[in-house]
């Protein structure tokens, strides 16, 4: 158990809909990262928050947004969903602000299926 909690574990929805994925980091970790794992793109970094502020951005679509709340939990919002958004979405956390200085602890992922 990494200590990172993601909900929901599974989600099935239709094209055009909007969903919210939630992540609670390990106790004491200030950084939250979101990754997308799909068959064609592999594991892709989406975005990072550090203590409530956006710290780094990766290949995140404009239809997607994220935020980190004062209690440090984070939400990833996916809107106008398309079939290609079906993927496993991972949240990870770390103490430091930079991934290079410490390991990332990954949650179990939220599997999104868009029909």
62 or 103, CB closer to another protein?
Answer: 103
| Cα–Cα distance list, 59 to 29, 32, 36, 50, 65 (Å) | 23, 16, 9, 18, 12
By rule CB under 8 A, what count of residues binds another protein? 29
78 or 91, CB closer to another protein?
Answer: 91
Is 60 near another protein (CB under 8 A)? no
Residue 85 has phi, psi (to 5 degrees) of -85, -10
Is 86 near another protein (CB under 8 A)? no
For the range 36-44, what are the long-range contacts, defined as Cβ-Cβ under 8 Å and sequence gap of 24 or more?
A: 36/87, 36/88, 36/89, 36/90, 37/87, 37/88, 37/89, 37/90, 37/109, 38/84, 38/86, 38/87, 38/88, 41/87, 43/90
Is 56 near another protein (CB under 8 A)? yes
14 or 53, CB closer to another protein?
Answer: 53
Among 43, 51, 63, 77, which residue interacts with another protein (rule: CB under 8 A)? Answer: 43
Is 28 near another protein (CB under 8 A)? no
* Binding positions for another protein, rule: CB under 8 A: 2, 31, 33, 35, 42-43, 45, 48, 50, 55-56, 58, 88, 90, 92, 97-109, 111
């Amino acid at each position: 158990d990494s200590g990172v909690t993601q909900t929901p574990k599974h989600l099935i929805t239709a094209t055009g809909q909007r969903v919210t994925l939630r992540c609670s980091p390990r106790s004491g970790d200030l950084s939250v990262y979101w990754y997308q794992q799909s068959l064609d793109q592999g594991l892709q970094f989406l975005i990072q928050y550090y203590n409530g502020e956006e710290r780094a951005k990766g290949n995140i679509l404009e239809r997607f947004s994220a935020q980190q709340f004062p209690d440090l939990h984070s939400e990833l919002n996916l809107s106008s969903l398309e079939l290609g958004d079906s993927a496993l979405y991972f949240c990870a956390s770390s103490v430091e602000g930079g991934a290079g200085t410490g390991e990332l602890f990954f949650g179990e992922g939220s599997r999104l299926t868009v029909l």
